[in-house]
Amino acid sequence: MPRRIAHLLLVALAFLHAASGCGYRLQSGKERFADPTVRMGVSPFSNRSAIPEAGARVAERLREELRRSGFRGSFGAAGATFLIEGTVREIREDVFSHGADRFALENRLTLVVDIRVVEVLRGGVLWKESGLSETASYFSGTDAQYTEANRGAAFEEAARRMAVRLSQTLRVIL
């Protein structure tokens, strides 16, 4: 069986080598991200949630994740190649499990975002999506500070997950 897998790998490599000789090549979104002349306008997202500055924090996580994923351009709306506009539509909290005393033990925070990516020079919308959601769970208790700290950490985790998801999609469409 291992010999058969090795044979299939060699055939696949031979095919890729032959395809590259015919003028075809495999491409990824890394080229645009590595281009230092690309400028993205990622302004704070509009915020329709009850968490203050949620839109600004999600946009900040997105900029961080774009950098982490290889974006080498700059950020700013002036002279931007692409504008990324978003809205934190809502942040829901649902009880996920109860303790023996029938009070909430674990909660689930759901972050819901709308996003739109515009190519400035052509004036066209490259990507538009409504209702993207990410969740994170957190524990609650009788201590309000404990619960609030966990809620804040859950929001940051959901925002981080959303940023990773948006960044991965942006690498594909750009």
What pLDDT, on the 0 to 100 scale, is given for residue 4?
A: 61
pLDDT of residue 26: 39
Place of tokens 């002279």: 79
Query: 127: domain CATH number?
Result: 3.30.160.150
In a domain, 42, yes or no: yes
Looking at residue 5, what is its pLDDT? Answer: 59
Identify whether 15 is part of a domain. Answer: no
What is the model's pLDDT at position 13? Answer: 52
Tokens representing residue 169 in the block: 């999609």
How many CB atoms are closer than 10 A to CB 84? Answer: 24
**Could you tell me if residue 14 is inside a domain?**
no
Six token digits for residue 70: 């290889």
The answer as to whether 11 is a domain residue is no
Q: Is residue 8 part of a domain?
A: no
Instruction: Provide the number of structural domains found in the chain.
Output: 1
The residue segments making up the domain with residue 101 are: 30-173
Per the domain annotation, does 25 fall within a domain?
Answer: no
110 in a domain, yes or no? yes
Taking the C-alpha atoms of 46, 34, 169 and 126 in order, what is their torsion angle to the nearest 10 degrees? 70
8 A C-beta contact, residue 47 and residue 86: no
Task: Tell me, yes or no, whether 71 lies in a domain.
Answer: yes
Question: By CB neighbour count within 10 A (0-12 exposed, 13-18 middle, 19+ buried), where does 3 fall?
Answer: exposed
pTM of the complete model? 0.79
The series of mean pLDDT values per 10 residues for the chain, 174 residues long, is 55 52 44 85 97 97 96 94 97 84 84 97 94 96 92 98 96 86
